Amino acid sequence: MDTSSVKKTTIRAIGNSAGATIPKVLLEKYNFHEGDTVFLLETEAGILLSPYDPDFEEAMEIYQEGSKKYRNALRELAK
C-alpha cells in the first residue's frame, strides 16, 4: 500500500449513526460535495468509498446491448 495516499480520520457519532469526515483535499480531488450520494463497497482490503453506482453500470450495459440489437428500429423511431 502506498502510504503517501493514506489519510487518517475518526469515526464520530452522528445522531443514532456514525460517520467519518473526509479531508478537504480529497473532497476536491474526487469532486465530492455536501449532499452527494456515495457508495460503500466491501473489498478484500477493506471499504471503498466511491461515487460509482453499480446499479447504474448494470443499466447502462443493458442499454448498450439493446441499442445494438435494435439499432435500426431506434433510428426509425428517432425520426
pLDDT tens-place string over residues 20-32: 888 888 889 888 9
For residue 64, tell me if it sits in a domain. Answer: yes
pLDDT computed for residue 44 by the predictor: 92
For residue 56, tell me if it sits in a domain. Answer: yes
- The pLDDT confidence band at residue 2, using thresholds 50, 70 and 90, is low
For residue 40, tell me if it sits in a domain. Answer: yes
Grid cell listed for 55: 446499479
- The pLDDT confidence band at residue 13, using thresholds 50, 70 and 90, is very high
DSSP readout, 11-52?
EEEETTEEEE---HHHHHHTT--TT---EEEEETTEEEEES-
Residue 3, pLDDT above cutoff 70: no
Burial pattern 20-44, b for ≥16 Cβ within 10 A else e, equals eeeeeeeeeeeeeeeeeeeeeeeee
Residue closest to 20 by CA, chosen among 11, 30, 33: 11
For residue 20, tell me if it sits in a domain. Answer: yes
pLDDT computed for residue 1 by the predictor: 55
Mean pLDDT of the chain: 84
- Residue numbers of the domain that contains 19: 11-77
Domain count, the chain: 1
